Amino acid sequence: MIRTTGPLGASGGAGAVESFIVNVGDGPVRTCIACRQKAGRDELTRFVFRPDQHPAVVRDVSATLPGRGAWVHPDAKCLDKALTTAAFARSFRTKITASDLPRPDTEPKENG
């Protein structure tokens, strides 16, 4: 007589393999709308088009605002180029007037 006692099947309990996507290192790459060079998000400043605001082109410092974003190098050269050309209009696919553009806050301040 054969008695099969004991646990049927393997009940290990442990060993659950969790697979998750590690997204460290090279993040998404954006293109500066002024110089057309690719750079990581951390290296670029994001602007969004907010038709309900004035000016409509808003600097998205925390890169969390909804809407279509345009990325520009945070240096005077690229910002100036972006603000003086149709780069934003092209990027946002809409008509941008000068009054829609944010004021360049590149005024040199000297501490006396």
Binding residues for Zn ion, per CB under 5 A?
Answer: 32, 34-35, 73, 78
Q: How do strand 38-40 and strand 57-60 relate by DSSP bridges?
A: unpaired
Closest to Zn ion by CB, 48 or 79? 79
Closest to Zn ion by CB, 82 or 96? 82
Buried/exposed 75-112: b ≥16 CB within 10 Å, e otherwise: eeebbebbbeeebbbebbeeebeeebbeeeeeeeeeee
CB of 81 to Zn ion, least distance (A): 7
CB of 61 to Zn ion, least distance (A): 17
User: Which are the contacts of 19, defined by CB distance < 8 A and separation ≥ 6?
Assistant: none
Closest to Zn ion by CB, 68 or 77? 77
CB of 78 to Zn ion, least distance (A): 3
CB of 12 to Zn ion, least distance (A): 55
Residue nearest Zn ion, CB atom distance: 32
Structure tokens at 2: 């054969």
Closest to Zn ion by CB, 36 or 93? 36
- State the first-to-last Cα distance of the chain, in angstroms, to the nearest integer: 101
